[in-house]
Structure formats: structure tokens, C-alpha cells
Amino acid sequence: MTSSPYLVSTQWLADNLGAPDLVIVDGSWHLPPTGRNGKAEFLEHHIPGAVFFDIDAISDHSSDLPHMLPDALAFSAAVGKLGIGDGLRIVVYDQLGLFSAARVWWTFRAFGAAEVMILDGGLPQWLAEGRETESGPSTRQPATFMARLDRSIIADIAQVERALTAGTSQVLDARPAARFRGEAPEPRAGIASGHIPGSLNLPFSEIVKDGHLAAPEALRAALEGAGVDLSRPVITSCGSGVSAAILWLALDSIGKRPHALYDGSWAEWAAAGKPVATGAE
């Protein structure tokens, strides 16, 4: 029994390996200071048949900001080359259990994928159970994915400003509390720490334990403890739009789908010279 309708168990995936309508996607990405490389680790070992989704490569290369969403044409071409086509069931996992997989899950949904799920516990759970892996590159036959980007679930910097000024949406930040308060440095050089004035903070680590999303009642308690009014719209944010998707997953899992995800997140806000708040408020 998983904690979200968007999660599938390792047993379910093992039972469905090789199904012709199923594609497994390794969406691993690591914060720059960790020194880890998702693609290199994928080549070392991955779930059989999985293809690698590179968050940095499948992005808007005209932007100076990290891994911003590409346009629909570029996304269609990239995932079609991976062998991901219309009508397939997609299961995403990552090497940390539950981190960047949420961003890849949200991205596929933003581009119109009808059935996309996340592997509960990710690769660590799969390995802990002694399940089979393979190494080296993995390829599938090219496919056709007709992407249709739902821009209504993506917030830009102007929309975030308007939402906070007018009080129409809450902005919820997934970064660690020390970065939110301005007490710890950002992982990207030249980006000040602190937060968007008026935003709230729920570090994703408070709702993800050992690669598993917290139970629904714990999610509600954590969100309300962070000051979120679950009756009002929420825009999720983080450092660069990755862990913001974990907050999206948490809210959506309890039936409170967010209004939007701020794709540029703190990396854009701070670089744009917008007001920076520090401390807990």
C-alpha cells in the first residue's frame, strides 16, 4: 500500500517488467555540491529496460537558468528519441529514492502524458530487495510523443509577484530551512540565500523519509504546520524547480492539487535582484 495514488510499488514494477506498453525512466539528478552524476550512475546499474531522462539536457537551452522546461516541440523530440511515445504507461524513479523523480513525473504530466507514476522508494528500495539490475546504455525504438504543454500549471516570476501582492496564492518553498532563512549558502555560486518575501517553507526532507513519501495524515499535518491554508491555492517553489515537484506530489496526493509550480524558483528570483527576506518570516 503506497502513500499516494501516483506511486507504484517495487513489486508492481517487478510484476510488470517487460510489458509492451510500459516504459521505465531513470530521472536521477543530483545537486551540484554532491559531486554525483546521474547519467554515470545509470550506466553502472539501472532497472532493466530503463532509459535515462537527463533533466539538464531536456531543458530550455536558451535560458541561463538551470533546467527550465523546454518547449513542446523540443520535449517531443527528446523523449521520442528515448522511445517514449503516446499511450505508454511511464514509471519514473531516481537514485535517491524520491527526489528528482518527482520533477520528471511533473514534467511528463505538464506535457500531457496520460499515465505517469513514480516508483515508491526508487532505486534504493529496488536494490535493497535484491532485485535485478543491468549496466551500460539502454535504448528503445524511437517513438512519437505529441507534447502539449499545459502552461496554466507553470508560474513565472511576474505571476509569483502578483500572487503574493494580491494574496491570491500562497508560495511554498521546499528548500532546507537554513537556506530559506538565509543562514546557509545556496548550492549555486553567486546566488544569495534567503527567500521570497511572504513565502512559506516546508523542507521536502520533512515529508520524505528513506525515499518514501509520508502518509496522507502526516502530509496534511506538515503542510498545516508550515502555515499552509489547504483551502487556498498554492504555488510550489524551491532552488531550481526540482524539489518543488515533491511538494506538488504531496499536495496532489491528498487531493489539493497546487495552482502552479514556479519553474525558475529561487535561482531566478535571486538572480533577478528581487527583494530577499531572511529569518523565519
Which active-site residues does the annotation give? Answer: 238
Q: How far apart are CA 271 and CA 242, in angstroms?
A: 17
Q: Are 195 and 217 in contact (CB under 8 A)?
A: no
Q: Give residue 63's identity as a one-letter amino acid code.
A: S
d(CA 29, CA 37): 7
Phi, psi (5° rounding) for residue 106?
Answer: -65, -40
Comparing CA positions, the residue from 95, 98, 103 lying closest to residue 42 is 95
How many C-beta atoms surround the C-beta of residue 191 within 10 A?
18
Question: Strands 260-262 and 154-155, how do they pair?
Answer: parallel
Q: How far apart are CA 60 and CA 44, in angstroms?
A: 28
Beta bridge partners of 8: 119
Would you say the C-alpha torsion 211, 216, 219, 223 has a positive or negative sign?
positive
